[in-house]
Chain A
Amino acid sequence: MSGQGTRVREGLIFERSSPGRVGYQLPRLEVPLVDPAVTLGGSLRGEIDGLPEVSEVDVVRHFTRLSKWNYSVDEGLYPLGSCTMKYNPRINEELARLPGFAHLHPLQPADQVQGALALMWELEQALLAITGMARVTLQPAAGAQGELTGMLMIRRALEKRGERRRVVLIPDSAHGTNPASAVFAGFEVLEIASTPEGTLDVEAVRRAVAKGGVAALMATVPNTLGVFEPAIGEVAQILHDDGAFLYLDGANLNAFVGIASPGKMGADALHINLHKTFSTPHGGGGPGAGPVAVSAALEPYLPIPTVEREGDGFVLSYDRPESIGKVRGFYGNFAMLVRALAYIRSLGGDGLRAMAEGAVLAANYVRKGLEGDYHLPYQRPTLHEVVFDDSRQKPFGVTNVDIAKRLLDYGFHAPTMSFPLIVHGAMMIEPTESESLGELDAFIHAMREIAREARETPEVVRQAPESTPVQRLDEVRAARSPVLRWRR
């Protein structure tokens, strides 16, 4: 440890260890202390090597110092495209921690958990209203698991019809989780090239379906360029006429809540990232929650259990003979469900629409503010996010990565980098509705300053960041000789 204040260097917790320090005290044991050598014999282990010995104060200082090296939404605009880094309301945190939720054991008798089941029921009803679908499972732990769950239901529906369709069509602009989830659900992936406009190629879909064996198409709406897929209804028709299914990736649902409905688009399954559209915190990498809404055609295959009404109350029902089974333990990330419903209640119907409008407005404002300085590879109107590339900075030897790193010096997080894959040198910007005019202007100003620096003093951009707790890292070294844990 060295340095001062917020710039203090902090070693690993294991390096703070000093013999005899403790950071806990357990309740006094009133029962006889058992000698585990007697009760457990050869299964008994000795002292665990390397665990730290630190005081409570040590722990508070350590993790508080670590926290100061993080950028976060609480600090400012966090424009990671397709991640929807919106404000995480504190009331949601307060409510999720109510003992009546946080302390609830998942295997308590049903009459003791009626409030929890009612809340899950209410969230399902709200998500149905928003998506226009037939039923929702709240079980998946994250978006990727939602994708897998949806694709497993599609697989089961096809099996039920006695069909062995193996191919899943996925546009080349899709998130990487789509092809991975399709493969883990037992399918093969056929990539569909986007049109020159960056949208789904309807004729390519038609040709692929005509070849036979297509189980489903996985599409993101609006797509990862932020562009609404104008032909989504037609694509759904092509798929349904053939007996195939439409899976919608709901990662970008924030763009059209209260404006349009996946049900009307012809979706058969859609996952909803509660940690994106519905404000549950991203937590430095989760936990999220990935409920899946399905059409009536897939309802018989929902994971068990579902929440059902019975008399005056609710039950967890396992009576679903065609179910795909379970995709995780118990019933889902319940504490995230609490937060999501609190958010939906806070905004109400009109507020949710205003949320989507605000997100689209902010993204278009950023687009307008930056299109004089950065190249926009696709010209179509965009909704909640916009993708620029670095082709106007490249001649000065400045890449998208350099721009991202310089943005850190200006006090902002970077956009999503080098994605979607159909844009070379991509910078995908999603400001979200949380940002006021002033915050957006500051971001636009920073981006424009960087564009100017790229022209005038490109080495400054290439050397960035200089003001962050650490400078650029040797990532090759990290991968070539991996050090993944501390050793004495």
Chain B
Amino acid sequence: MHRYLAGEADRRAMLEAIGVASVEELFADIPAAVRVGELPLGPARSEDEVRREFWAYALRNTTPECAASFLGAGVYRHTVPAVADALLQRGEFFTAYTPYQPEVSQGTLQAIFEFQTFVCQLTEQDVANASLYDGATAVVEAVLLAGRVGGSRRRVVVAESLHPDYRRVLETYCSAQGMEVTPLPWDRAGMADVEALPRLVGEDVCAVVVQSPNVFGIVEPLAAVAEAARGCGALAVQAVAEATSLGLLVPGGRFGFDVVCGDLQAFGVPPAFGGPHVGFFAARERHLRQMPGRLVGETVDRAGRRAFVLTLATREQHIRRAKATSNICTNHGLVALYVAIVLSLLGKRGVRELAVASHSVAEFVKAGIGRSGKLALVFPGSPTYNEFLLRHDDPEGLLQRLRGQGILGGVPTTRLAPHLPPGVLIAATEQNTTDECLRLIAALEAVA
């Protein structure tokens, strides 16, 4: 028998109690026409054998640590406190499920309540949910919320400087909902063209979506965007792909944005080839009843003790079914817990210090590139947080040459989407040493 399964004597005792001669009798309802023979998946394997196979896969990958890495474009490398994963690996957390029985789930519930508080604090919003899948689907949920609030308004104006994956996912969902996406171009500074906005919005627009910092790393003029959205009765939605930026930058909440949402991966969540990360969703109180996903609320138990419970579930699919505010059920609760731990460790000082450090390193690289006569940014002079776009007609070729010197110089825009200007997105964080930064600058000058 197998180490994950009950033993032979257990099986015999169960069969006897049930009153069947073999386990096959329990499957009598399944017709022969849909039966299968032996699965061609090989024998059961020991941990040692499984480990051997998986180490081989892992060793065929090259991790960014093998080079000086300046990769970003939606996934960022920041400080990873050892405590976070150690706590996460407590079986009480990772082998529990959705806290349907609050009396034996107060650990998860309180942690998620704390997560919701952290998200509200970072975004300056009133309410936040218990997490979504990722940044792309968080933007989708914001637009779908705007569609419900907006009634007959079926158009959404979306900055072209939104992360291309977010845009693609949004288009997938919008097309099914009969919603139309109108692109909002960027201006010469690489920011959402707020002067074009009045022409693009109208009575049929339910939401205006911008990402800040945007895909070029540039800080968007959020106040002007909020004003234009308000002017036409649409909701203003801010997407955040680099969440550590919230330690330095005024969030959309301050300017009256209806929803601030995105991905919290940047707070030390392992990149893991793209997931799982964790989507967040924060909104104004007036949108509470239209929020997607789970919410944890505070209450008391019979003895009057403070306690936490899933609440306002009448929005959700298991109650409202076809009329639910979202189809989401399982979310990314464990990653939300991880981020709550990281934010607890960083705290008031660390959230800011991390952002300042990351910004400082990126500004150092940007200034170094700027001093060279041979290199130019696509949007020089625009304020960026920790990522910026280097102009180059053959970014993949350029990056290939950098690799020869042990440098992963960034993400080529050609790999992200055809509508972006050709170049290399360079992200630098507090994890990049000065030596790495100087090597990158020198190598770029040498090969560009």
Contact = CB atoms under 8 A, between A and B. Distances in A.
Most-contacted residue by chain A among B45, B53, B65, B92 (CB, 10 A): B92
Nearest to A334: B273
A341 to B, nearest CB: 8
B404 interface: no
B351 interface: yes
A30 B61 contact: no
Nearest to A182: B322
B58 A101 contact: yes
Interface stretch (A201-209, A349-357, A453-461): A349-357
A100 B114 contact: no
Contacts of A471: 103, 301-303, 305
Interface stretch (A228-236, A292-300, A391-399): A228-236
B347 A43 contact: no
25 contacts: A12-B114, A21-B347, A23-B346, A40-B219, A68-B107, A71-B105, A73-B95, A95-B54, A107-B71, A119-B54, A184-B173, A260-B30, A264-B35, A282-B96, A284-B94, A285-B99, A287-B275, A327-B137, A336-B275, A349-B39, A361-B15, A365-B18, A477-B299, A479-B311, A485-B127
Given A45-B248, A48-B247, A475 B311 contact: yes
A243 to B, nearest CB: 20
Interface in B122-151: 122, 126-128, 130-131, 133-137, 144
Contacts of B144: 184
Contact of A358 (B6, B65, B343): B6
A261 B36 CA distance: 6
Contact of B171 (A303, A325, A414, A475): A325
Given A12-B113, A100-B59, A348-B44, A436 B327 contact: no
A80 B97 contact: yes
Contact of A486 (B11, B107, B113): B113
B296 interface: yes
Given A43-B219, A180-B324, A264-B33, A13 B93 contact: no
A355 B5 contact: yes
A103 to B, nearest CB: 4
Interface string B375-391: 00000000101000000
Interface in B237-274: 247-251, 254, 263, 270-274
A185 B45 contact: no
A325 to B, nearest CB: 4
Interface string A309-339: 0000000000000001111111111111010
Contacts of B408: 105, 108
Given A179-B321, A348-B44, A100 B58 contact: yes
Contact of A22 (B15, B107, B347): B347
A83 B359 contact: no
A36 interface: yes
Interface string B52-89: 01111111111111000101011101010101011101
Interface string A56-78: 10111011101111111111001
A435 B31 CA distance: 28
A85 B97 contact: yes
B448 interface: no
B364 A433 contact: no
A302 B299 CA distance: 45
B246 to A, nearest CB: 8
A342 B330 CA distance: 22
B11 A358 contact: yes
Nearest to B73: A107
Given A107-B75, A479-B312, A39 B383 contact: yes
Contact of A26 (B62, B71, B354): B354
A423 interface: no
Contacts of A129: 39-41
Contact of B23 (A103, A142, A361): A361
Contacts of B433: 27, 30
Interface stretch (B195-203, B227-235, B333-341): B333-341
Most-contacted residue by chain B among A66, A94, A408 (CB, 10 A): A66
Nearest to B250: A45
A290 B316 CA distance: 19
Closest 5 CB pairs of A and B: A100-B58, A330-B274, A283-B334, A285-B333, A115-B60
Contacts of B74: 106-107, 329-330
Interface residues of B, number: 207
Most-contacted residue by chain B among A261, A328, A351 (CB, 10 A): A328
B345 A24 contact: yes
A1 interface: no
A56 B337 CA distance: 16
Given A51-B343, A336-B275, 8 more contacts: A33-B360, A106-B74, A132-B36, A232-B34, A326-B136, A473-B301, A479-B314, A484-B311
A33 B434 CA distance: 12
B166 interface: yes
Contacts of B318: 175-177, 419
Contact of B4 (A41, A258, A434): A434
B182 interface: no
A162 interface: no
Contact of A115 (B59, B94, B330, B348): B59
Contacts of A27: 79, 357, 430-431, 433
A210 interface: no
A71 B51 CA distance: 30
B90 A64 contact: yes
Given A108-B64, A483-B297, A53 B53 contact: no
A56 B135 CA distance: 29
B446 interface: no
Interface in B1-40: 1-2, 4-7, 9-11, 13-15, 17-19, 23, 26-31, 33-36, 38-40
Contact of B110 (A53, A66, A288, A434): A66
Most-contacted residue by chain A among B133, B294, B326, B335 (CB, 10 A): B133
A14 B117 contact: yes
Contact of B29 (A99, A119, A381): A381
Contact of A365 (B17, B127, B278, B296): B17
Contacts of A258: 36, 38-39
B120 interface: yes
A48 B121 contact: yes
Contacts of B96: 70-73, 282-284
A363 B141 CA distance: 38
Most-contacted residue by chain B among A129, A417, A486 (CB, 10 A): A486
Contacts of A51: 118, 121, 343, 347-348, 351
A380 interface: yes
B97 A56 contact: no
A483 B298 contact: yes
Contacts of A113: 61-62, 273
